[in-house]
Each structure stands twice: as C-alpha cells, then as structure tokens.
C-alpha cells in the first residue's frame, strides 16, 4: 500500500491532505522521513509503524479501542447536554468512523469499547450474542439478602412483560453491588436495582466478557485493544 493510502485509511484526512502531510516532510515511516506519497510499504504483517509530526502510530486495518469512560460524557457524535465521548480520542478515529460498541449513560463510568469494524460492533451489541457485562453500583440504601435474591431471580421492569434477572449479584460491602447482566436494555442496571427496592447512586462497568478494565488506565484515557484483549473479550 502506498504511503498516501496508509495515512488515508488511518484517518489522517482526505487524500489531498495526506499527500500534503507527506510532501511537507511531516511523515516518517519505520523511523525515516518519507516525502514520496507513492512509496509502497507492506501492511499485512501488522508491524508497520509510522509517525506524523513526531507522534508514532501503528497501522491497523481496523481500530479496536478500549476507553475508561469518565462521568459527564455522552456516547454520541451529537450530544445533547454533555461532552462528546469521542472528544477524548485523537481526531483521526472519528475520521475513520470509529463508533461505540454499545453505550454507557453520561453518568456511568468504566469500560467502553470502540471500533470501526462493523461486524465486530454488531457481534458485541446484538441481543442474541448475550455477552456478560459486570457492573459495580453504589447504592443509596444498604444491601440485603432479599434484594440480592430478587436480582438473581428476576425483577419486572416498568413496561416489560418478562422479568430481568442478573447472572450474578453480590454485595462487595454494605452499599456496593457487583451485578452481571447478559442483556443491554435502556438503563437496565439502574432499573433493576430500583425494582429490587434500592436506588443506584453511581454505576461503573468493570468487565465485558472476559475483558476487564485495566487498573492502570486512568479515567478519560484510551488504549489499543490487542490480540490478547480481543481473545479475552471473546472468551467471556
């Protein structure tokens, strides 16, 4: 693939803009400045790295990202009342069409996946896939055995005809609930907690499938999801 196409597929602007970046000697490939937009490089090994204005990027056919979402951000490109979660990412990801793999409410924090791979997005948002998701909720009132049992057995949400049950529901302390669900209905975890007789004061997603939010990833920070992370996600 030629260098112009490499930059274009990675979200660095239109083809004309990519060619201008290269012509202005702002692009290095494998550590050396390249001003030939038509120079060809192998991209099939996964080892290609390039730099734009001194910032190094790996070539990825598809982007798979993990973000530690902070509160106050909407998972939308057209947010209504809060900041856009995509503003936490470098702009080239929006240019290449990265989207959220499912959504978190603006006040919900934690593990959020993003990708430009439509098949991947569908796979992990389809209700048929039933990917377990672990949430940690802070509750207003103390937890008790009756609430935990109700969550495991199933609670009927307003407007629903079938009960929603947690795969697991455990108290980590008097006001901290670890809840695993397979579905992804609107405000599901908050509504389930309310239906059990309590109230959710804060909500954090800790795990999707077998993939846990890295303890080292600060709120608002992102990282590439590597093959090990993808395998863990699918293993769950």
φ, ψ of residue 213 in degrees (nearest 5): -65, 125
* Per-residue pLDDT, 45: 73
How is 153-211 classified by DSSP, letter by letter?
Answer: H-BPPTT-SS-B--SEEEEEETTEEEEEES---TTHHHHHHHHTT--EEEEEEEEETTE
* Per-residue pLDDT, 235: 81
Sequence ranges of the domains in the chain = 3-58, 64-127+210-235, 133-208
The CATH code that applies to domain 133-208 is 3.30.70.1560
- Catalytically annotated residue among 36, 44, 105, 144: 105
| 130-168: burial string, b at 16+ Cβ within 10 Å, e else | ebebbbbbebeeebeeebbebbbeebebeeeeeebbbee
* Per-residue pLDDT, 234: 84
pLDDT digit string (tens) for 148-178?
999 999 999 988 889 999 999 999 999 999 9
- What's the fold here for domain 64-127+210-235? Alpha-Beta Plaits (3.30.70)
The CATH code that applies to domain 3-58 is 3.10.290.10
pLDDT digit string (tens) for 11-41?
999 999 999 999 999 999 988 999 999 999 9
What is residue 135's three-state secondary structure?
Answer: strand
Residue 105 annotated as catalytic: yes
Per-residue confidence at 183, pLDDT binned at 50, 70, 90? confident
What is residue 229's three-state secondary structure?
Answer: helix
pLDDT digit string (tens) for 132-155?
999 999 999 999 999 999 999 999
């Amino acid at each position: 693939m030629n260098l112009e196409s490499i930059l274009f597929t990675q979200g660095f602007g239109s083809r004309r803009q990519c060619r201008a970046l290269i012509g202005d000697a702002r692009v290095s490939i494998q550590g050396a400045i390249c001003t030939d937009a038509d120079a060809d490089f192998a991209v099939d090994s996964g080892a290609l790295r390039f730099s734009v204005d001194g910032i190094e990027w790996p070539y990825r056919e598809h982007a798979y990202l993990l973000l530690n979402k902070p509160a106050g951000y909407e998972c939308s490109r057209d947010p209504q009342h809060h900041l856009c979660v995509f503003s936490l990412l470098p702009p080239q990801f929006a240019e290449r069409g990265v989207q959220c793999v499912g959504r978190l409410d603006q006040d919900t924090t934690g593990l959020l996946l993003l990708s430009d791979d439509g098949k991947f997005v569908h796979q992990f948002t389809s209700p048929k896939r039933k990917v377990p998701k672990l949430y940690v909720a802070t509750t207003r009132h103390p937890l008790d055995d009756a609430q935990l049992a109700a969550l495991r057995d199933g609670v009927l949400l307003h407007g629903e005809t079938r009960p929603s049950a947690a795969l697991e529901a455990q108290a980590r302390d008097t006001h901290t609930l670890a809840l695993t669900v397979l579905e992804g209905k609107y405000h599901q975890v908050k509504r389930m907690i309310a239906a059990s007789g309590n109230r959710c004061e804060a909500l954090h997603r800790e795990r999707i499938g077998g993939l846990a939010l890295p303890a080292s990833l600060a709120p608002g920070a992102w990282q590439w999801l590597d093959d090990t992370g993808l395998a863990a996600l699918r293993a769950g």
